[in-house]
């Protein structure tokens, strides 16, 4: 079974939709199909660019697509509950144990609170997830009532994640409209995530660089 078949699975679609509804009720930014598809594709891009085998890339994209379903249970420890949910789903779909193990481990380690880049899959998933900052993730349309997460996401007008040709560094390049948020706001909520991205990049043999408005910050 491949990534496209996972994307087309109605049961999985339902869990992703309901997890996002739960987060919407809590006031979180978008975590629905746009987010998980983008994360899946970026996870695949990272491992593909670095020359990993096709099946490993496919498993990485599946991990990216399933990584946030644990929000259906609770936002707290959602990476671990999501890993358990993914285990049950993939086991029922007859995935081999060695593939389930890789996917579940990556999902269970993607969150900055407890996550560690224990494998190439986990490392790529961490970077792909933490780099998804963009204006259209903000649900709240009233700019006067934005919290800091709304302000930071809304301020990002362009986001680009690229590995250089020499495969020595991975760069997250953001264009930030400082009318809505300062660069310091970004660091206030994302510093822990960026530190985890740096560790994840090191796991993949890369340096991690963050650039905001053409200025290198990490």
> Is the Cα dihedral 132, 16, 71, 40 positive or negative?
negative
Helix (H) or strand (E) holding 26: none
CA–CA gap between residue 127 and residue 44 (Å, rounded): 11
* Residue 91, pLDDT score: 98
Superfamily (CATH H level) for 3-216: Hypothetical protein af1432 (1.10.3210.10)
Mean pLDDT by 10 residues, the chain (218 residues): 98 98 94 97 98 98 98 97 98 98 98 95 98 94 89 94 98 94 88 95 97 88
* Residue 195, pLDDT score: 94
* Residue 113, pLDDT score: 86
Each residue of 7-17: pLDDT tens digit? 999 999 999 99
The reported pTM is 0.96
Q: b/e map of 144-175 (b: 16 or more CB within 10 Å)?
A: eebeebbbbbbbbeebebebeeeeeebbbbbe
For the chain, what are the domain ranges?
Answer: 3-216
CA–CA gap between residue 10 and residue 27 (Å, rounded): 26
CB atoms within 10 A of CB 186: 23
* Residue 184, pLDDT score: 87
* Residue 217, pLDDT score: 83
* Residue 170, pLDDT score: 98
**In the Cβ-directed half-sphere of 96, how many Cα atoms lie within 13 Å?**
5
């Amino acid at each position: 079974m491949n990534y496209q078949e996972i994307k087309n699975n109605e049961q999985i679609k339902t869990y992703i939709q309901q997890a996002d509804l739960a987060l919407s009720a809590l006031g979180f930014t978008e975590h629905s199909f746009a987010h998980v598809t983008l994360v899946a594709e970026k996870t695949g891009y990272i491992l593909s660019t670095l020359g990993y085998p096709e099946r490993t890339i496919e498993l990485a994209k599946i991990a990216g697509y399933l990584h946030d379903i644990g929000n259906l249970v609770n936002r707290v420890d959602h990476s671990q509950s999501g890993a358990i949910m993914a285990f049950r789903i993939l086991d029922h779909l007859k995935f081999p144990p060695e593939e389930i193990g890789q996917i579940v481990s990556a999902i269970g380690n993607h969150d900055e609170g407890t996550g560690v880049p224990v494998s190439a899959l986990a490392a790529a998933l961490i970077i792909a997830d933490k780099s998804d900052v963009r204006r259209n993730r903000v649900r709240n349309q009233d700019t006067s009532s934005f919290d800091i997460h709304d302000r930071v996401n809304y301020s990002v007008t362009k986001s680009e994640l690229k590995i250089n040709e020499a495969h020595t560094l991975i760069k997250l390049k953001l264009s930030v409209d400082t009318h809505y948020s300062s660069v310091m706001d970004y660091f206030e909520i994302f510093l822990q995530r960026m530190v985890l991205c740096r560790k994840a990049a090191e796991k993949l043999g890369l340096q991690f660089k963050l650039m905001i408005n053409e200025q290198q910050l990490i």
